[in-house]
Amino acid sequence: MRRALIFTWLLGVAGSGLAHAQQPAGGATTPRPTGTTAAQPPRGRPAQPPPPRRAAPPPFGPRFRVSVNAGLQVAGPAITQDFSYDLNADQARIVNEIATANGVFVDVGLAYTLTRTGVAAGVAFSATSRTSSSELTAELPHPFYFTDRTVQATVNDLKGSEQGVHIFLSYPVPRKPTSALEVSLFGGPSLFTVKQDLVTSVVTSESYPYDDVTLTSATLASPRPSATAFGFNVGTDVSWRLTPTLRVGGLLRFTRGTATLDDGFGDEVSVDAGGLMAGAGIRVIF
């Protein structure tokens, strides 16, 4: 736990967004002569032919960009639990469809410009959490006969969270140097940590003759099941220059990874991590 927190803190400080080399507004090129006030060669000295003009390589501007975004992460596919356990000398079966609701995400990134053309590498950290409900169907064996009682219920307040570390290379879409609009495309691998409430059994209320059963509550795995998974991220970042060091922009990122959660009883649940993330925020260039 302590190690995880430290890791998270480091990511928060070093987190990245999208960045690439900036063409400074007032470039470091040689000032051009202006009118009669232009400097002249001193008299009496023979005029030297001007040295051949070489195109000066565009200088590196500020190389770092920190971005901070917040937005909506579109829910991925429902999570399906399907497991059995011993009950009444038979097997009870639980099918639990957890609806994955859209969630708010925050994203902090740090990028470092690698080339004068603005290609950058970076890392971003995203986090989202959600509370959702599930539709649970339980087939519970009758205590006296080899028949099942089927009961359905909605399980509310299921907590889920997801943290992603997204490593990327970004490439700026060519633009006029004077343009305040900047668009870049990026992609790379992602690492997800998924936590999700999972049902492990149900608590029922029943009485003789036990032909009907009422679900009174669902028992959740504790601690909340957690798993990591590798995946990928692709997306685009669009930003608008406000000042030489501050931009505002939007982020559209799609990530995907598949994590396998264990409910603590050996029953595995496949969870699609990531999804479409749409957010907006600021970019600080330095």
Partner 1 sequence: MRVSTTVGAVIIVTVTMLLTAPGPQAQIRTMTLTATAPADLRSSDETVDRMARAGELQVRRTDVDTLLPTRRHERLQQFYKGIRVYGAGVSRQFDGNLTVSVFGTIYQGIDLNVAPQLTVGDATAIIARESGVTLGDNRAPTLLILPDEGDYRLVYHASVFTGDGAWEYFIDAGNGVIVRRLDAARRQAAAAVGTGTGVLGDQKKMSTTEVAGGFQAADALRPPVIRTYNMRGDIFRTMSIANGQLDLLTSDRASDGDNHWTDTAVVDAHAYAGYTYDFYFKRFGRRGLNNANSPILSLVHPASRSNVFNVTGSVLSLYYTNAFFSEVFGGMVYGDGLPPGVTVGGRSWDYVSGALDIVGHELTHAVISASSDLIYFGESGALNESFADMMGTAIEFFFQPAGNGPLRADYLCGEDVVSGGGLRSLANPLAYDDPDHYSRRYLGPDDNGGVHTNSGIGNQWYYLAIEGGTNRTSGQSVTGVGAANRDQIEKVAYRAFTQLLAPNANYAAARAATIQAARDLYGANSNAERAVTQSWNAVGVN
Binding site for partner 1 (CB under 8 A): 88-90, 142-146, 208-210
Extract the tokens encoding 191. Answer: 């690492």
CB of 97 to partner 1, least distance (A): 29
Q: Which is nearer to partner 1, 144 or 286 (CB)?
A: 144
Helix (H) or strand (E) holding 13: helix 2-14
Residue with tokens 């699609």: 272
| Rounded Cα–Cα distance for residues 243 and 213 (Å) | 66
| Rounded Cα–Cα distance for residues 156 and 110 (Å) | 37
Kindly give the pairing relationship between strand 103-113 and strand 120-141.
antiparallel
Q: Which is nearer to partner 1, 60 or 145 (CB)?
A: 145
Q: Helix (H, G, I), strand (E, B), or coil: what is residue 35?
A: helix
CB of 131 to partner 1, least distance (A): 37
CB of 209 to partner 1, least distance (A): 6
The secondary structure of 237-259 as a DSSP string is EEEEEEETTEEEEEEEEEEEEEE
Query: What phi and psi values does residue 128 have, to the nearest 5 degrees?
Result: -145, 155
Q: Which is nearer to partner 1, 90 or 262 (CB)?
A: 90
CB of 205 to partner 1, least distance (A): 14
Q: Which is nearer to partner 1, 141 or 225 (CB)?
A: 141
Q: Helix (H, G, I), strand (E, B), or coil: what is residue 37?
A: helix
Q: Which is nearer to partner 1, 214 or 260 (CB)?
A: 214
CB distance 85 to 95 below 8 Å = no
Q: Which is nearer to partner 1, 178 or 207 (CB)?
A: 207
Task: List the beta bridge partners of residue 130.
Answer: 160
Q: Which is nearer to partner 1, 7 or 210 (CB)?
A: 210
Q: Helix (H, G, I), strand (E, B), or coil: what is residue 53?
A: coil
CB of 96 to partner 1, least distance (A): 24
CB of 143 to partner 1, least distance (A): 5
Residue with tokens 């410009």: 113
CB of 146 to partner 1, least distance (A): 7
Amino acid making up residue 219: T
Amino acid making up residue 1: M
